[in-house]
Structure 1
Amino acid sequence: MSAYENEIKQAVRTIENWPDEGVMFRDIMPLLQDAHIFRKLIDSFVHRYQKETVDAVAAIDARGFILGAPLAYELGVPLVPVRKKGKLPYETVSQSYKLEYGEAEIELHTDALKAGDNVVVMDDLIATGGTMLAACELIKKLDANVLEVAAIIDLPDLKGSERLRDAGFNIYSICQFDGL
């Protein structure tokens, strides 16, 4: 891990036993509240993708928007919001996915991407991978390509990154935390 990545990881606040007993919540708000760290965070994603052929950044509702918007701006590509069901006003494609206690559904506008577009899928963290996997499936429904799934944090013990790799998607995270 580079000093850059280590500085970002050190800025993540851990809140024990939230929202449930035994959970170690990884809070990214300190990263966002420190302009110096936030710049390093966004720059780390920009440097990763600036020489790649990226046609769009798909940002997952809602913390993915915080990262995806400045990344899309810096790369000079469109920002494609992946929203919770019922939040987009135009024609959509949707994908359901399993939650711990039920199901959820996310949507994408049908005209958000063109066939063959190379897309970076952005969210704040990879936990169980359900939302990210659903977002990737939406992108495939529009005949676009998932270049990579990107996040600040990977929680490998929850097996989300493993699920995404098993489904054939490349993963990039700045840091990892063990445990739940």
Structure 2
Amino acid sequence: MFIEPYSGNKKKGWIEVIAGSMFSGKTEELIRRLKRVDIAGQRAEIFKPAVDTRYHPEDIVSHDSSRVRSTPIDSPFNILLLASGVDVVGIDEAQFFNPEIVEVAEKLALNGIRVIVAGLDMDYLGNPFGPMPALMSRAEYVTKLHAICVKCGDIANYSYRIPKIDDQVLLGEKNIYEPRCRHCFYN
């Protein structure tokens, strides 16, 4: 992947990744950071995968019902077209995007934009999920959040899928997934 360095203003961009299991507060943390961007008077655009319609077709919504308006997109490259003239780009549920999201985040950061990405770092099998490992490796800042294991109360960093369905992507909430610690996930 070749990314042309930007020439122009001296504004520095970077990538922040918020990762963790289901119910760890990733979207809530993304919304918190975006609210601070608004308080600072900076311009932001927020994006999410069009496939994620669990809570709202357009808004990103946390499990505690905090919400912020976003633009659903099918392709990460649409972000480059829609995010002109902004200081910050927020991206939720990045694990659902194809690997092009990494190149897009890099281009944005090289062009002086702060990029805040939230997503699951592991799938329901405990394997790295989609482009998240590549995003985490390129990010200047990585925040790993944890949920609480529903079985033992310890910290949880796995998303256990209750129904035995083999598709990697299965949108759902507490009726389909539950947070578990390492021990309870594997036993």
Pairwise TM-score range, normalised by the shorter structure: 0.3 to 0.5
Answer 1 or 2: which has greater helix percent. 1
Larger Rg: 2
Q: Select the structure that is richer in strand.
A: 1
Tell me the TM-score normalised to structure 1 length: 0.43
Which protein has greater RCO, CA pairs closer than 8 Å, 6+ apart? 2
